[in-house]
Amino acid sequence: AGTGVVGLIGHPVGHSKSPEMMNRAFRACGLPFVYLAFDVSPSELGDAVRGMRALGFRGWNVTIPHKVAVLEHLDEVEETAREIGAVNTVVAQEGRLIGYNTDGEGYLRSLVDETGLELSEQRVLILGAGGAARAVAHALATTGVESITIANRTREKAERLAASLRKADARAVSLSELERVVGETTLLVQTTSVGMYPETEAIPIDPSFLHERMIVSDLIYRPRKTLLLREAEARGARIHGGLGMLLHQAALAFEHWMGKPAPVDVMREALEEAMKSAGGG
């Protein structure tokens, strides 16, 4: 009885939209839970996890910079999260802490929802090879896409990611080879932090590489379209922004904790309101 607690640990967490989304969802479903954001510095991660376990939290989300480091504090890590090497959702189940990663599946739900894409026909180019790229690449690799090409500033990371995608036809290329690859690309997924606030006029690819036969998908979420998406639109490409991924990874976390479907429309509304009032590019 009483109020159940779930939350978020990250550093910083001040701009997170998750409390708005989750608390609105709990209210809409009449669930006696509250979602709180906790700023936890890396040196305090272990103490924070032990504290949440001792206090009987139902679970929590994990964001930058703890998504990798949290693994060693958990009792079990589900297969997808293990493959990605990062956890964004923890569930406390009968005293055991189980790690999941809902970022990749959240991305797929958003992409299919908003674009209706036939994934099996896609020749994918992923820009970046960080945590978000790993989640998206592993998720796409399970869908039977035609091919996945990965380009990253640090080439070895792209190579490691491509090699780990055993379920797909995957390869890494250097940034200097992009011009050759883009012609056949049907889905470009931008996963780098280039273009994030406050450097909103930065763009991670030569805009002349964008064309009308591709969908351009940018994981960055901002109230306004990123420069990449504006350039893509101007060249006749279809576009897909990062807000849907944020929404669906949260909905999937809700489902892990509550064991029932999330009220996605209520959460979307809360997220859109929170984005509007946030301003900031």
Report phi then psi at 7, rounded to 5.
-170, -165
The answer to whether 192 contacts ligand NDP (rule: CB under 6 A) is yes
Using the rule CB under 6 A, which residue among 23, 143, 186, 193 binds ligand NDP? Answer: 193
Question: CB of residue 259 vs ligand NDP: minimum separation in angstroms?
Answer: 23
Using the rule CB under 6 A, which residue among 246, 251, 271, 275 binds ligand NDP? Answer: 246
The answer to whether 129 contacts ligand NDP (rule: CB under 6 A) is yes
Q: Both tokens of residue 125?
A: 């180019």
152 is in an annotated binding site: yes
Question: CB of residue 153 vs ligand NDP: minimum separation in angstroms?
Answer: 3
Report phi then psi at 186, rounded to 5.
-105, -20
Question: CB of residue 1 vs ligand NDP: minimum separation in angstroms?
Answer: 34
Return the half-sphere exposure (C-beta side, CA atoms, 13 A cut-off) of residue 172: 18
User: Is the Cβ–Cβ distance between 106 and 251 less than 8 Å?
Assistant: yes
Stretch that binds ligand NDP, among 21-29, 118-126, 242-250, 272-280 (CB under 6 A): 242-250
Q: What Å distances lie between residue 88 and 95, 111, 126, 265, CA to CA?
A: 19, 19, 21, 22
Q: Which of residues 16 and 122 has its CB atom nearest to ligand NDP in the complex? A: 16
From CA 243, how far away is CA 221, in angstroms rounded? 5
From CA 151, how far away is CA 72, in angstroms rounded? 29
Using the rule CB under 6 A, which residue among 8, 170, 220, 228 binds ligand NDP? Answer: 220
Q: Which of residues 7 and 204 has its CB atom nearest to ligand NDP in the complex? A: 204
The answer to whether 41 contacts ligand NDP (rule: CB under 6 A) is no
User: Is the Cβ–Cβ distance between 148 and 169 less than 8 Å?
Assistant: yes
Task: Give catalytic residues, as residue numbers.
Answer: 67
Amino acid at 47: D
Cβ partners under 8 Å of residue 53, min gap 6: 92, 95, 97
DSSP state of 220: -
Binders of ligand NDP among 156-175, rule CB under 6 A? 157
- Residues in contact with ligand NDP by CB under 6 A are 64, 103, 128-133, 152-154, 157, 191-194, 196, 204, 219-221, 242, 245-246, 249
Indicate the annotated binding residues.
Answer: 16-18, 63, 79, 88, 103, 128-132, 152-157, 219, 221, 242, 249
